[in-house]
Structure 1
Amino acid sequence: MPSHHTNTPAGGKEADPVPTEPADPPVRVPLKLEDTVSVATIAALALITFCNVLVRYLTNASFAWTEEISIFLLIVLTLTASATGFVRNQHIRIEAYADSGSAQKQRRLAIASHTIVLLFFILLTILSARIVYDDYTWGDTSPAIGVPTWWYSVWMPLLGAVITLRVAGSLQRALRSGRT
Structure 2
Amino acid sequence: MSTSTPDGQPSAPIVPAAPAAADEPRSLRLEDWLIVLTMAALALITFVNVVLRYFTDASFAWTEEISVFLMIVLAMVGGSAAVARQLPIRIEFFADGGSEHRRQVLAQFGALMVALLFGLITVLSIRVVWDDYRFEETSPGIGVPQWWYTVWLPVLCALTTARALQLFARLRRASAASTAPKARP
TM exceeding 0.5 = yes
Aligned to 2:50: 53
SS in 2 for 1:79: helix
Aligned to 2:36: 39
1:93 and 1:11 mapped to 2: Cα distance?
48
Structure 2 residue 100 is the aligned partner of structure 1 residue 69:
no
Instruction: Name the aligned partner's letter for residue 139 of structure 2.
Output: S
Unmatched runs of 5 consecutive residues or more in structure 2 = 179-185
Comparing 97-106 with 15-24, greater Cα deviation is found at 15-24
Corresponding residue to 1:22 among 20, 23, 39: 20
- Given that 2:3 and 2:11 are in contact with CA atoms closer than 8 Å, whether structure 1 keeps it comes out as no
Instruction: Name the aligned partner's letter for residue 65 of structure 1.
Output: W
SS in 1 for 2:21: coil
Q: CA deviation at 1:123?
A: 0.9
Aligned to 1:138: 135
SS in 1 for 2:79: helix
1:157 and 1:96 mapped to 2: Cα distance?
33
Aligned to 1:111: 108
2:64 and 2:29 mapped to 1: Cα distance?
28
Identity of aligned residues (%): 44
Instruction: Name the aligned partner's letter for residue 117 of structure 2.
Output: F
Q: CA deviation at 1:94?
A: 2.7
Corresponding residue to 1:7 among 3, 7, 16: 3
- Given that 1:25 and 1:87 are in contact with CA atoms closer than 8 Å, whether structure 2 keeps it comes out as no
- Given that 2:3 and 2:14 are in contact with CA atoms closer than 8 Å, whether structure 1 keeps it comes out as no
Structure 2 residue 171 is the aligned partner of structure 1 residue 166:
no
Unmatched runs of 5 consecutive residues or more in structure 1 = 1-5
Q: How many residues align?
A: 174
1:172 and 1:66 mapped to 2: Cα distance?
41
Aligned Cα root-mean-square deviation (Å): 2.2
Distance 1:141 1:59, change over 3 A: same
Q: CA deviation at 1:22?
A: 3.4
- Given that 1:114 and 1:170 are in contact with CA atoms closer than 8 Å, whether structure 2 keeps it comes out as yes
Runs of 4+ in 1 over 6 A off after TM superposition: none
Corresponding residue to 1:121 among 118, 129, 132: 118
Q: CA deviation at 1:135?
A: 0.1
Comparing 51-60 with 131-140, greater Cα deviation is found at 51-60
